[in-house]
Amino acid sequence: MQTQDYTITIIVPTNAVYAFQQINDVTKWWTHNLKGASHRLLDEFTVYFGDVHISTQKITEFIPNKKIVWEVISSQINFVDNKQEWTNTKIIFELTELNDKTSIQFTHQGLIPAIACYKDCSNAWKDYIENSLFNLITTGKGNPTV
């Protein structure tokens, strides 16, 4: 059975070491509005998107240059009825080197079509991964929310 979790893959023209470092520099591609730390196992950080979305992530898996898992330990998504839709979901980055490139598979486990924020949240993730993170890795400048 195929999963319905939101997944997207990008391929960047660099090694996994560099790509991994950039993913962990969350303020350079997701949002400047971050409190906490996002660089090692068990770090916790909260991101703020005005009064639209606030969530706290805990890094529960951290395999350098291979995989990062953020467990969403609390969330408040204010444009849907169930404000905690992201709580207990997982945000996963899996990296695979392909010669002189790196494949980054992004999965938001639990972000499925049946939940109210799926359309808006998956569109936002698509932009952050395909544009902001990709640009950060390839040009040194992401497009995080300010």
Tell me whether residue 44 is in a domain: yes
Mean of pLDDT over the chain? 96
Q: How far is CA 47 from CA 5, 139, 140, in A?
A: 21, 24, 21
| pLDDT at residue number 2 | 58
- pLDDT higher than 70, residue 45: yes
Range of the domain at 72: 6-139
Tell me whether residue 146 is in a domain: no
Residue 50 and residue 57 in contact, taking contact as beta carbons nearer than 8 Å: no
- Low-confidence winner among 1-10, 62-71, 80-89, 91-100 (lowest mean pLDDT): 1-10
Tell me whether residue 46 is in a domain: yes
CATH number at residue 29: 3.30.530.20
Tell me whether residue 144 is in a domain: no
Q: How many CB atoms lie within 10 A of CB 16?
A: 19
Tell me whether residue 145 is in a domain: no
Helix H or strand E encompassing 35: strand 34-36
Closest CA to 89 of 118, 67, 127, 65: 118
- As for how many domains the chain has, the answer is 1
d(C-alpha 58, C-alpha 52), whole Å: 20
| pLDDT at residue number 1 | 47
Burial class (CB in 10 A: 0-12, 13-18, 19+), 144: buried
66-87: average pLDDT: 97
d(C-alpha 130, C-alpha 11), whole Å: 9
Tell me whether residue 114 is in a domain: yes
- Segments in 1-145 forming alpha helices (H): 16-24, 118-127, 134-139
d(C-alpha 21, C-alpha 83), whole Å: 31
Residue 120 and residue 80 in contact, taking contact as beta carbons nearer than 8 Å: no
Tell me whether residue 1 is in a domain: no
Tell me whether residue 134 is in a domain: yes
| pLDDT at residue number 36 | 97
